[in-house]
Structure 1
Amino acid sequence: MARKSEPGSQPRPGPEDNEDETLVLARVAAGEAEAFRGLVDRHLPTVLAVARRMLRDDAEAEDVAQETLLRLWRNAAGLELGPHGVRPWLRRVASNLCIDRVRARRNTVVVEAVPEESAPAAQVRQLSERDLGVRVDAALKALPERQRLALTLFHYEGMSQIEVGEAMGISDEAVESLLARARRALKGALKDEWRELMPDGEA
């Protein structure tokens, strides 16, 4: 007996869906707006859910969803679909766009928090913190994409491992593995700064 999906859930695409999406994507690449609308209807709820979970802001989430689907339209000709169709690609693009916005928020807060006239000691501290931030950003960028995404969602966005897995479309065990590898890589890259970055018990 076929198992029914729970109300509101998005079923994972099967091989038939992937084959269908390959054909639809070819039509999108040829400029067929109707085919594109079909993909939007199918995947917009998933993209919005990822963006809302990461940004916790409906307006920003809608902007990210629009940009993600626009990139699908522009890049349809060059996409090669895996066994789960276009959804993993959409998740990855939406997640990266969200990370860019999260980083922009943090940078804005830092800039606004710096006083116009600082005492020498405060200036030294600001330069030190800025230098640390540059080194951390460089170390994060050097990580493989999936490790960087998992670490950013878990530590900077405060998501649980389960929530990170839902956002990335992977299991809780896979998230745990990505986090462990990312922490080892960062610990090796940052050395002395590592204890300042990780919460107690994770260093």
Structure 2
Amino acid sequence: MTTMTAASDRIDALHAAHSASLLRFLTRLTHGERQTAEDLVQETMLRAWRHVDTLPTDPDSERRWLFTVARRLFIDVIRSRQSRPAETPVFDMDWVSSAEDTVDVAIATQSILTAFDQLSDVQRGVLSDLHFRGEAPRDLARRLRVPLGTVKSRAHYALRALRNGMEATG
């Protein structure tokens, strides 16, 4: 048996023995982001492949090695997400205007734009995601990693603030 075949067999055995438990572990760490968890399992196995000559041979030690690598990769993902600046949505608010170009429509449009600009970033974000982009509340909660009730609450208070802002401008 060649060295490459032995290495391949070792990685196949590691994958068969530990991939399911690694996937469960990483799925919990990623709060159910299965795609991210699968990517991390794949990267963990790639690291094992790269270090196949130095991997522990004891089953408990190789399991600890794999889980340590997986946890460190997860930490790297979290750090990279935190180091990127938050995305700022860019919206073309021209949709507010209508075919009727009356003074009343212009005032209403300006009232909406002014009130929207006065919302906090969180309020603007949740309204933008839910109403402009049409994102489902459950999907938004999953993406933001907050409970569904938090998204609904933010949307409620954002709409209330928008209404109050519009009333204040007349």
User: TM-score normalised by the shorter chain: which range applies?
Assistant: 0.3 to 0.5
| TM-score in terms of structure 2 length | 0.47
Q: Calculate the TM-score normalised by the size of structure 1.
A: 0.41
Q: Answer with 1 or 2: which has the greater Rg.
A: 2
